[in-house]
Amino acid sequence: MKTLFIESKFKGKIELNKIKVNELQKNIGLITVVQFVNHLEKIKNYLLKNNKKIQIAKGNQKYKAQILGCDISAGYKIKNKVDAFLYIGDGKFHPWGLAIKTKKEVFSFNPLNNDFSRIKKEEIEKYKRTQKIKKIRFLSAENIGILVSTKPGQSNLKKALEIKNKLEKKGKKCFIFVFDTLNLNDLENFPFIDMWLNTACPRIEEDSRDIINFEDIPKRN
């Protein structure tokens, strides 16, 4: 089946004065989604007029500053050049992913309802503590369930088999579970699994204390 992607651009007016520039740090990385890329230059100029230094980079997506799904490469490229990020868009999926990967505070401005919010460092630290607990649990786990997606762009069977081989050499028992759409409730049908190892979309692990991403497993010789 062929897939056709159609860009949908926001044609409304963005009320720039609703952005709380006084709460923003000096060096800001500007990030958005495709719906608002056509407003990026206006937002950038507004911030510059308010004495902010702006960083914008092009990641793996079509436009500068654009992030999509789990891909926050446009932000990751400039994480060491900024104090915080300003995300232009709706929802918490993208800004939270950006905060987790860059360990920076992320401010969000939603042009649809003028909501201005912030993901604080304290929230990021709480997430990091949760990750530390997961790593400890993974090290002590005997039975590991390795999650493999069949979705294009997320399928990672080769990596799953490679990890399975390495872990079994260290004495762990590994089982590969292949899925299209994952229902976390279905994992409860396998109570013998001590910890789940995710090789699909890295955001899956946020919804369960029993799932850890393969990139986050402790490295031991």
Task: Tell me, yes or no, whether 109 and 177 share the same domain.
Answer: no
> How many CB atoms are closer than 10 A to CB 189?
7
- The answer as to whether 2 is a domain residue is no
Task: Tell me, yes or no, whether 150 and 180 share the same domain.
Answer: yes
Task: Tell me, yes or no, whether 134 and 211 share the same domain.
Answer: yes
Residue 123 has a pLDDT of 86
How many structural domains are present in the chain?
2
Task: Tell me, yes or no, whether 131 and 207 share the same domain.
Answer: yes
Residue 220 has a pLDDT of 61
Residue 195 has a pLDDT of 97
**For the chain, which residues score pLDDT lower than 50?**
none
Task: Tell me, yes or no, whether 114 and 143 share the same domain.
Answer: no
* Residue given tokens 């993974």 in the structure block: 138
Residue 2 has a pLDDT of 64
Residue 112 has a pLDDT of 94
- The answer as to whether 171 is a domain residue is yes
Q: Kindly give, in sequence order, each residue whose CB lies less than 8 Å from that of residue 151, ignoring residues fewer than 6 positions away.
A: 180, 200
Write the CATH number for 89.
3.40.50.11850
Q: Domain residues for 76?
A: 16-119
Task: Tell me, yes or no, whether 136 and 113 share the same domain.
Answer: no
DSSP state letters, 57-125? -B-SSSSBTB-BTTB-HHHHTTTTT-SEEEEESSSSHHHHHHHHHH--EEEEEETTTTEEEEE-HHHHH
Task: Tell me, yes or no, whether 140 and 61 share the same domain.
Answer: no
